[in-house]
Amino acid sequence: MAQINLLLIFICSIGFDLLIGDPKFLIHPVQIIGIYIKKISNFFIYQYGANKKILFWGGLFISLSTICVSFCFGKLIELSYFQFENNHFFGILILLGLSSCIASKGLISSVKEIAGLIENKEINKKNKKLIKTKVQRIVSRDVSESSLKHLLRSSTESLTENAVDGIFGPLFWIFIGIILMKFSIFLPGPLSLGFSYKAISTLDSMIGYKYNHFKYLGFFSAKIEDILTFIPSRIVLLTLPLVSSKVNQYISIIKQSYRDGKRYDSPNSGISEAVFAYTSNIKLGGKSMYNNKVILKPIINSKGDICTEEKIKLICHLIIKLQFLWVMIFILIFFII
């Protein structure tokens, strides 16, 4: 019964995220994780910036300590929930915690807002500066000199990449935790695995780069994130075409997406961007500015349309539909196992 209640809390957390998102009056776990990562990363960089070996092993310590603390905090709440026999207070904490691991509303709303500003507003110097500021918040590339067309493409690429590590990655590991707790409450659960995945995702976004000190300090963070996202990204590849209007091209889309996506350095982001590009028929990739250098990203779906507000709305619609499909599959698996 307790495990079924946990499944219901999980389902409610998805609804809470889609309808409300992250409450403004609560401190988001990512903010706490981010503060810790920034403080300890700055310590290693300022104290040992010239020592590559210390930065390398220091990066492992940052990764493991961040993941362990996040896991233990989530596990403590889970055990408290079962110890006090489905206590409503801890149930609400689990609901809010799981909802904070999934970034559906925040990601979708921010990208839709940017697209709306670009296509529906009179563009002047002030508005363009505002748009660039909003785009810069969701991308790691430098968009200070970007055209409106590039800003739309950057936002779309962020949406299609972060759909996996911000939404479907957490969903996958949360459900794994629910299944594990069917066998023992002392095994990793949904909140402990959800927080752990969110921790490594935050680590990767903050220090998982390939330049300067981060090349050594963020090595382990990037690799762990690649490993934990590998399976979710492939499941997205296999399931996204099922909720699109191109389900009759299922095999072709998967082959083309895998072909284009594997050309990226990341084993996951390219796959994620490619399957969304082919299901929505848009062209992604091209020139982008990173760390004052022009990087030519591989072209995905070279015959696709340019990114527009309508295409972004379509992708957002696909993300929501795919979430519902995943939840239905999860529930079926839960009752079979």
Residue 121: the pLDDT is: 62
Number of domains in the chain: 1
- In terms of residue numbers, what domain contains 162? 2-336
pLDDT band with cut points at 50, 70 and 90 for residue 253: very high
State the Cα torsion 24-165-211-307 to the nearest 10°. Answer: -90
Can you point out the beta strands (E) in the chain?
284-290, 293-300
Burial of residue 217 (number of CB atoms within 10 Å: 0-12, 13-18, 19+): buried
How large is the average pLDDT for residues 158-177? 95
Task: Return d(Cα 104, Cα 309) in angstroms, integer.
Answer: 18
Q: Whole-number mean pLDDT of the chain?
A: 91
Residue 160: the pLDDT is: 94
- What's the pLDDT tens digit per position in 28-74? 788 899 999 999 999 999 998 889 999 999 999 999 999 999 999 99
Q: What percent of the chain has pLDDT over 70?
A: 98
pLDDT band with cut points at 50, 70 and 90 for residue 286: confident
Residue 118: the pLDDT is: 84
pLDDT band with cut points at 50, 70 and 90 for residue 1: low
